[in-house]
Amino acid sequence: MRKEKYRILRDREGMMAPVYWTPVSVTSSWAKELYQVCISRQRQIYADGRLQAVHYAEDFDRVESYIAAKFYSDDNYFNRIASEIKRREKILWNIFAKLEKIKFNELKNEKLISMAIEMKNKWQYYESANILGWAYAADRLSDLVKKTININKSDFAILSTPETKTYVSQLEDELIVACAEILEGKTEINKRAEKLAYKYGYIPHGFDGPEIWDKKYFLGKLSELAHKYSADHRAKLKEIQVNNTKLLDRRDVVIKKHQLCFEDIKLINKLNTTAVWTDERKYLMFRLYFYYHQVLFELERRYNIPFKNLKHLFTEELYEVLIDAKRVKIITDQRIQNGVVVEYTEDKFRIISSKDQNDFLGEINSIKAGSEIKGKVASRGDQDKYEGQVKILMSARDNNKINDGDWLAATMTTPDYVPAMKKAAGFITDEGGVTCHAAIISREMDKPCIIGTGNATKILKDGDKIEVDAEKGTVKVIK
């Protein structure tokens, strides 16, 4: 059997900047210094409004195996990285405090761009600590933990659901609590809406924006809830308290049932911590991307270069806008029209030549998607097999396609998919591992989820009737 040369980790909607900061982070000397290993070489394809992250399979396996083994066996190694992630997160919050006070339209050109570069540097310092631990190691770590404690899949799913809720779930609880306090006269609706916008407003922004939930949005949500729950908000508060303890109770039952020891529980906690890192990263990322986009919008206004074109510049190239805006427009038009392949190595990156690009794309395009849809079971739900109608979501803008009971298929999910996920019977993704957003949300919602199929959105079509095997991780179209 021929060994695979490439592993396509990401294939989704997205423009070049600031998403390209991520491959710079995973190949950086910062990552290597902290983890003692990093990705040596990665390429990303930016074309037709989509990006593909292509890893060299042996390189990916090397990093995955090393970090997972260290996480599994070396508490000091794991705890050191966990502490460093927290420390660098505080640095990010310091720059957020700075950015919140800035009026971008009043900054001089050079200062505007220097702010963008500072954002990039601070983000990469944080991300170089965060991303290798979950994106590259979590699946292998999960396999090691499963093998060690050797319990059934359903019980393992309960244990591997983090006690810390995702930010979207925290928001749902906070909305109910805020509504109750408003109705009881303990807080004022405008102040609460403002706080909610500050804490959760960037969740729908995603990788390219520009959506955010502002104070007006939360005023509407709180007013709607106040009208809906005015009679039974106390019951809703009680429901939140019950749900918050239900997972802990279920975990305790599983731990006692299998007589898990302290070392077993410690391994489960490590795995769950990596899942929390995933959610925290997106929460921080979308907030920072919003501010980065404010720089781009301001440059668009001053130099009449479309936002989309500016998204096809590396951050370091933004200074070129000040020198020759017309030339920048021509260059970025070519990148948008022809697509680019960027190669990332330690602290360096370059757009590869046209010939190398054509050869490389030929190799990637020759990789067959396959006709079988098979992935990993992130959550089984309450049965082994399911049937239903599937809808394909290419972005959260397609959320309204989902009706109650539909299956949701996507390349990946992000927090802004959650309204559709609430209505869906279950989820299927092309990408992702045990700590991905869809996996975490499915366990929180106790819905079935198949992740990392690689090809679901390429094979399935809106309206297909499907059968999902939540034991084997397979999906097939029912004729």
The per-residue pLDDT for range 222-267, each reduced to its tens digit, is 998 887 766 566 666 666 666 667 778 889 999 999 999 999 999 9
Rg (CA), the chain: 23
Domain boundaries, the chain: 6-146+276-365, 167-255, 373-477
User: What element of type H or E holds 299?
Assistant: helix 262-303
Tokens of 270: 């490590």
- List, in order, residues 6 or more apart from 197 with CB less than 8 Å away: 213, 214, 215, 217, 218
Q: How confident is the model at residue 365 (pLDDT cuts 50, 70, 90)?
A: confident
Mean of all residue pLDDT scores within the chain: 93
Local structure of 409: helix, strand or coil: strand
pTM of the predicted protein model:
0.93
344 three-state secondary structure: strand
Beta pairing class for 449-451 and 426-429: parallel
What integer pLDDT is reported at residue 233 of this predicted model?
A: 62
3-state DSSP helix/strand/coil % of the chain, to nearest 5? 60, 15, 25
By C-alpha distance, which of 189, 173, 176 is closest to 229? Answer: 176
What spatial distance separates the first Cα and last Cα of the chain, rounded to whole Å?
Answer: 32
Model confidence pLDDT, tens digit, residues 420-476: 999 999 999 999 898 899 999 999 899 999 999 989 999 999 999 999 999 999 999
pLDDT at residue number 358: 94
Report the phi/psi class of residue 188: left, alpha or beta, with left for phi > 0 and alpha for psi in -120 to 50: beta
Average pLDDT over residues 318-334: 98
| Tokens standing for residue 95 | 């720059």
Strands 474-477 and 373-374: antiparallel
Evaluate whether 170 touches 188 at the Cβ level (below 8 Å).
no
Residue 221: burial class (beta carbons within 10 Å; 0-12, 13-18, 19+) = middle
Element (H, E) at 467: strand 465-469
| Predicted confidence (pLDDT) per residue in 5-27, tens digit | 999 888 888 999 999 999 999 99
Using alpha carbons only, what angle is made at residue 16 by residues 107 and 30, rounded to the nearest 5 degrees?
Answer: 80
Higher pLDDT, 312 or 368: 312
Asked whether the CA dihedral 190, 194, 199, 202 is positive or negative, the reply is positive
What pLDDT sits at residue 73? 98
Mean pLDDT in residue range 365-393: 89
pLDDT of res. 1: 42
One-letter amino acid at 422 equals: K
Burial degree of 87 (CB within 10 A; 0-12, 13-18, 19+)? exposed
Q: Which percentage of the chain shows pLDDT scores above 70?
A: 95
Tokens of 90: 């505080």
Q: 203, 134, 216: which is closest to 396 by C-alpha?
A: 203
Whether domain 373-477 has CATH 2.40.128.20: the reply is: no
| Model pLDDT, residue 235 | 67
Measured at the alpha carbon of residue 238, what is the angle toward residues 233 and 244, in degrees to the nearest 5? 130
Element spanning 47, H or E: strand 42-47
Calpha distance 158→247 (Å, rounded) = 7
